[in-house]
Amino acid sequence: MSTTTVGMGTERAVRVLLWAAVAVEAVIGVWAQFFPVGFYEDFPLGWGWVQLLPPYNEHLVRDVGGLSLALVVVLAAAALRPDRWSARVAALAGAVFVVPHTIFHATHMAHFPAFDAVAQTVGNVGLCVLVAAIWVLAGRLPARTGGSGR
């Protein structure tokens, strides 16, 4: 297999993972930003995990939405023009959110039924694995060349 073929496969994999992260964060961001009460009461998929950690705070929920949408911009930009630096910055931005988020939820399960606690942990750890995979695969991408970045 040629280096170009390996590079194209890696680039495709990084793009797929970045777009997957975009999809997750876009759903969270739009829901929390534009439908904060619904997000609080029903996230995810009607299970109501957010309301298990009361009280409701519209400002905080909308901030989560806005920050998730800002992360969407970074992830989508890297997916549109993947190079080592862009993909790693996007992965790092994702990790800055998902790692502390996962730790918080792992230590605040008292009000969660067992199934929900396991499902939430699996989902959060899955997002950590996703950003780690982007980081690792991005190391196989070519470095950005040229001064303009175009």
The predicted-structure confidence for 77-124, as pLDDT tens digits, reads as follows: 999 999 999 999 999 999 999 999 999 999 999 989 999 999 999 999
Asked if the model's pLDDT at residue 150 lies above 50, the reply is: no
In a domain, 70, yes or no: yes
The predicted-structure confidence for 46-61, as pLDDT tens digits, reads as follows: 999 999 988 999 999 9
| Average pLDDT of every residue of the chain | 92
In a domain, 145, yes or no: no
Overall domain count for the chain: 1
| Token pair recorded at residue 39 | 């997000």
The predicted-structure confidence for 119-139, as pLDDT tens digits, reads as follows: 999 999 999 999 999 999 999
Angle at 23 between CA 28 and CA 129, to 5 degrees: 90
In a domain, 143, yes or no: no
Say what the pLDDT of residue 146 is: 54
Q: What is the dihedral of CA 27, 149, 96, 61, to 10 degrees?
A: -40
Q: Which residues form the domain of 55? A: 3-138
In a domain, 130, yes or no: yes
Please choose, from the candidates 77, 70, 78, 69, the residue with its C-alpha nearest in 3D space to the C-alpha of residue 14.
Answer: 78
In a domain, 34, yes or no: yes
If one compares 136 and 149, the residue with the highest pLDDT of the two is 136
Say what the pLDDT of residue 64 is: 96
Sign of the alpha-carbon dihedral angle for 43, 24, 117, 92:
negative
For residue 43, the Cα-to-chain-centroid distance in whole angstroms is 16
